[in-house]
Amino acid sequence: MHTKTPATLESKIERLVHEHMVEQQRLVKAAVERAFSVLAPAPSVAMQRQGTRVRRSSGAVANLAKRLLDAVQACPGETMTVIAAHVGEKPRALHRPMMRLKHEGRVRSAGERNATRYFPMGGKAT
């Protein structure tokens, strides 16, 4: 029977342990890189988000308020979602014009949050 010397066995074991450690370090490094790449958005996405808000002029808000008032008169007692569909805008874009109409006394609201309904009033004309 052929037996190996202890020095030969020791060198083979050391080599296997070293290869195993190198492979484990590579796997850990790859896992850490994947984890951090998910957390941080790509620079192109961050750059796209900057400057997306555009401030509307008072004339644009007034024009949108007129269209909004026409929509409220066409379907009184509806929610902002329904009215926004008639105007052709998103409900969030109509918040400022609606506040303007309410302040002028041309529209009144009843309800809270998503259940708010809007009604035309016989207020002063601008």
Comparing 3-7, 18-22, 71-75, 114-118, the range with the smallest average pLDDT is: 3-7
**Beta strand ranges found along the chain (DSSP E):** 107-110, 117-120
Q: From 3.90.1300.10, 2.60.40.3500, 1.10.10.10, 3.30.1360.230, which CATH number describes the 59-120 domain? A: 1.10.10.10
pTM, entire model: 0.55
**Residue range 28-59, pLDDT digits in tens:** 998 888 877 765 555 555 555 555 677 888 88
Quick one: which H or E segment has residue 16?
helix 6-39
Domain residue ranges of the chain, discontinuous segments joined by +: 59-120
Q: pLDDT digits over 110-121, tens only?
A: 999 888 999 999
Q: What is the pLDDT of residue 7?
A: 85
Spatial CB neighbours of 72, under 8 Å, sequence gap ≥ 6: 78, 83, 101, 107, 118, 119, 120
- Per-residue pLDDT tens over the stretch 58-93: 888 899 999 999 999 999 999 999 999 999 999 999
